[in-house]
Amino acid sequence: MKKILIVIFLFSLKFTIYSQNSSYTEIKDLKILENKIEANTSKINTIISDFVQEKKLDYLDATITSKGKFWFKKSNFLRWEYFEPYKYLIVINAGKFYIKNESKVSVYDVNTNKVFKEVNDLLISMVQGNIMFDKKFHIDAFENKTLYLLKLVPIDSNMKKIIAKTKIYIDKNDFSVVKVVMEESETDYTIISFVNRRFNENISDNIFNIK
């Protein structure tokens, strides 16, 4: 199960370059930032974006780079698809969590499976940029001229076994998530960068069906 969750989360990290960026200053009043994010993300109904994932594991010398694309449609539809170096697909649709690995498809009921409900909520809230409303995390916020940086530490002990810390970078112009970084351990990490982001384009419901 842990292996599946790690793939689902797609991320994790001991990544310090951003925290060392002295241009970031702490945001003391989180309520003001919450209001800004809520006002802006409420205007986003769909997101289409390419992504690049860089994953480092302690037992491997090289960093594994993967590429893919994702689609999001309010309020709870998401398709996360890897194209290279391997094909892998995650879909959230109508309360179901689908994982397709090559030709094998696994289906989980989000509402009756606590673990996958947590995963579902986390993925959706990260994509929408409103994760700071999630009370399952201790959150610190920072900003520079172009980005907001949210640092999240899970409160739940079971979640801590999977993710030690999460960093989310939000563009100040459109309030979309441009990068997600999560720590799994002291040595293992993954960085997801979102590029070519497009908003409020029409997305057919068929995108969220697995064939």
Q: Residue 207 has what pLDDT? A: 94
Question: How far is it, in rounded angstroms, from Cα 181 to Cα 144?
Answer: 17
Q: Residue 129 has what pLDDT? A: 61
pLDDT of residue 12 exceeding 60, the answer is no
Please give the average per-residue pLDDT across 191-195, as a whole number: 91
Looking at every residue in the chain, the average pLDDT score rounds to 81
DSSP lists the bridge partners of residue 105 as 100
CB 139 within 8 A of CB 29: no
Q: What is the pTM of this model?
A: 0.79
Q: Residue 95 has what pLDDT? A: 83
Confidence of residue 193 (pLDDT cuts 50, 70, 90): very high
CB 100 within 8 A of CB 89: yes
Domains located in the chain, CATH noted? 2-196 (2.50.20.10)
Low-confidence winner among 117-126, 141-150, 170-179, 185-194 (lowest mean pLDDT) = 117-126
pLDDT of residue 18 exceeding 50, the answer is no
For residues 123 and 205, which has the higher predicted lDDT (pLDDT)?
205
C-beta atoms surrounding 169 within 10 Å: 20
Cis peptide before 75 (omega within 30 of 0): yes
pLDDT tens for each residue of 143-172 = 999 999 999 888 877 777 777 888 889 999
Q: Residue 8 has what pLDDT? A: 45
For residues 22 and 24, which has the higher predicted lDDT (pLDDT)?
24
pLDDT tens for each residue of 69-123 = 999 998 889 999 999 988 999 998 988 889 998 889 999 888 777 767 777 777 7
Percent of the chain with pLDDT over 70: 84
Quick one: which of 148, 119, 122, 149 has its CA closest to 135? 122
Helices and strands: H and E segment counts in the chain: 4, 12
